[in-house]
Structure 1
Amino acid sequence: MAEKLHFSLVSPERELFSGEVDQVDAQGTEGGFGVLAGHAPFMTALKAGQVVVHNDGQLTVFEVEGGFADVTPDGLTILAEHAVAARG
């Protein structure tokens, strides 16, 4: 079984997601990026776009308007200026 990444998505209103996932894709101000477990630490600003959470073959999509992504040895935290679950 592949190692999981701990991911948290937080907006000023509430925490929208917290859990163990396979991968997270997001749109940074310098381009799109994906994070897996064991990723090298970094921090980047986010631009408006989608955050896509991959977990056990399922996708969960959030619409994010700005904020920051912080990758540490403990996982990925996105602090969004505004975020909502995308409508499918």
Structure 2
Amino acid sequence: MSKTFQLKIVASDHLFYEGKCEMLVFPGIDGEHGILASHQPMVTCLSAGELRFQIDGEWHYAAVSDGFVEITPTFVVLLADTVEKPEEIDVNRANEAKLRAEERLRQKQSIMEYYHTQAALNRAMNRLKITKRHS
């Protein structure tokens, strides 16, 4: 049996997962991070992308948005705005959100509106990528 650590994945509106984990891979601002039991303590930023975690030798996947990750040798807490399983994502809704964001980017916007639109486009594209890869 592999060494495990306690993993808690929390979205802004619900607890996504809590239990033992063998390995966690998440997107960070400086690339992907892989976490095993006995990892050095650290706190880092979570970027929107694909979250992967291994339980009993089986990989589980989710689309995550921005957040934070706290890592200690025995537990990891991942806090994100949203965490969604591939089967929970509405592909039509994600496509519509992508099209809306692309249209808004073609229009004149303030810098703040531009950043919000770019974030919406990134979320929609991430959801579509995750569903395409794991459905």
TM-score scaled by length of structure 2: 0.62
Give the paired residue count.
88
Aligned sequence identity (%)? 26
- Relative to total residues, which structure has the larger strand share, 1 or 2? 1
Superposition pairs of residues 32-47 of structure 1, within 5 angstroms: 32-47=32-47
- Note the alpha carbon deviations across 1:21-80, whole angstroms, 9 max, x for none: 110100001110111110001111111101101122211111001000110233111000
**C-alpha RMSD over aligned residues:** 1.1
Stretches of structure 1 lacking an aligned partner (at least 5 in a row): none
Stretches of structure 2 lacking an aligned partner (at least 5 in a row): 88-134
Q: What is the rounded CA distance, in whole Å, between the counterparts of 1:56 and 1:2 in structure 2?
A: 9
- Relative to total residues, which structure has the larger helix share, 1 or 2? 2
TM-score scaled by length of structure 1: 0.92
Spell out structure 1 runs of 4+ moving beyond 2 A.
none
Which residue is equivalent to 1:66? 66
In structure 1, give the amino acid aligned to 2:18: S
Larger radius of gyration: 2
Q: What is the rounded CA distance, in whole Å, between the counterparts of 2:14 and 2:86 in structure 1?
A: 16
In structure 2, give the amino acid aligned to 1:36: L
Specify which structure has the bigger relative contact order, considering alpha-carbon pairs within 8 angstroms and separated by 6 or more residues: 1
